[in-house]
């Protein structure tokens, strides 16, 4: 009797951004204008001595400027990575990018816009943990990954791409407009958008709503001034309007 052994080949699914751990880059008003940490608060990068060691792999870069600090520009460099983000110098409160850190490699980050000579260095271990990533503790390569929570200043956000800025206006006569690069918005791709609303009317406001969803008020009917908010626009039909006013439609597609 001949026994036939069938080998089962298990192919590991690629790690996606939704599964990946995060690095949290935060803007500050103090002397250290930027900090980079893991989800558990461990600082990533040292300016002298042994560098921080973290597992290699795909990471979400979660940017938080909820303090509206102008000036800092975050730069991350190393093998296969060249990232720069300034959150439009205080105009945007949050954003998300991704970076794949290679094994046994050295990376640096700095506030290139204000403190280019202060360089933080960290390294990656030779291998990731069994699940594709190690723990978030410094120098460890085993355990459970903590992914943390994206900044709350992004309305309806998860790990989604930042698409750009939209200009919203309410003129003195109460007429509304929504444009991108000077052209009226008709179609957009899903993702994060920063709305800068310039409201010159004390009787009309600017709201946005997805079909069958709840309305999001960016400026109230009595508000005059400029307001900035980042929204996660999901696929579907959207409208912008002032309460009791005409609705203007646009489409968001995947």
CATH homologous superfamily of 162-253: Cupredoxins -  blue copper proteins (2.60.40.420)
Inform me whether the pLDDT recorded for 14 exceeds 60.
no
User: Does pLDDT of 134 surpass 50?
Assistant: no
* In the chain, ranges of CATH 2.60.40.420 domains: 162-253
In the numeric block, which tokens belong to residue 136?
């978030």
Residue position matching structure tokens 């050295």: 106
Scanning 19-137, the segments in alpha helix (DSSP H) are none
Q: In this predicted structure, what is the pLDDT of residue 150?
A: 37
Mean pLDDT confidence for 131-147: 33
Buried b (16+ CB within 10 A) or exposed e, 204-241: bbbbbbbeeeeebbbbebebeeebbbbbbbeeeebebb
Q: Please state the rounded mean pLDDT for residues 215-229.
A: 88
Closest-CA residue to 182 (of 167, 195, 202): 167
Fold topology of 22-151: Immunoglobulin-like (2.60.40)
Q: Assign residue 172 a region: left if phi > 0, alpha if psi is -120 to 50, beta otherwise?
A: alpha
Residues 6+ apart with CB under 8 A from 75: 83, 84, 109, 110, 111, 112
Q: What is the mean pLDDT of the chain?
A: 80
Measured CA to CA, the distance from residue 36 to residue 15 in angstroms comes to: 22
Q: Give 228's pLDDT tier (boundaries 50, 70, 90).
A: confident
The radius of gyration of the chain's CA atoms, rounded to the nearest angstrom, is 22
> Which pLDDT score is estimated for 16?
59
Whole-structure pTM value: 0.49
What are 179-217's pLDDT values in tens digits? Answer: 998 899 999 999 888 899 999 999 999 999 999 888 999
- Interval 79-110: pLDDT, tens: 999 998 888 777 778 888 899 999 999 999 99
């Amino acid at each position: 009797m001949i026994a036939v052994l069938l080998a089962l080949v298990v192919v590991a699914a690629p790690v996606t951004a939704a599964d990946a751990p995060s690095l949290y880059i935060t803007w500050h008003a103090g002397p250290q204008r930027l900090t980079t940490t893991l989800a558990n608060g461990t600082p990533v990068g040292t300016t002298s001595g042994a560098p921080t060691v973290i597992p290699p792999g795909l990471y979400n870069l979660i940017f938080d400027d909820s303090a509206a600090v102008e000036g800092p520009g975050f730069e991350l460099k190393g093998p296969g990575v060249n990232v720069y983000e300034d959150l439009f110098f205080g105009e945007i409160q949050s954003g998300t990018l991704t970076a794949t850190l290679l094994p046994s490699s050295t990376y640096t980050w700095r506030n290139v816009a204000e403190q280019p000579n202060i360089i933080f260095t960290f390294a990656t271990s030779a291998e990731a943990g069994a699940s594709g990533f190690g723990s978030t503790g410094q120098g460890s390569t085993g355990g459970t990954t903590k992914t943390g929570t994206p900044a709350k200043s992004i309305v309806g956000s998860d790990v989604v791409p930042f698409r750009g800025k939209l200009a919203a206006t309410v003129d003195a006569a109460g007429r509304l407009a929504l444009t991108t690069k000077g052209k009226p918005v008709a179609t957009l791709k899903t993702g994060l958008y920063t709305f800068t609303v310039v409201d010159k009317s004390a009787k009309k406001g600017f709201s946005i709503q997805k079909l069958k969803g709840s309305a999001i008020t960016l400026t109230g009917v009595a508000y005059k001034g400029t307001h900035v908010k980042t929204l996660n626009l999901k696929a579907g039909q959207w409208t912008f309007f002032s309460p009791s006013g005409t609705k203007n439609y646009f489409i968001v597609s995947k």
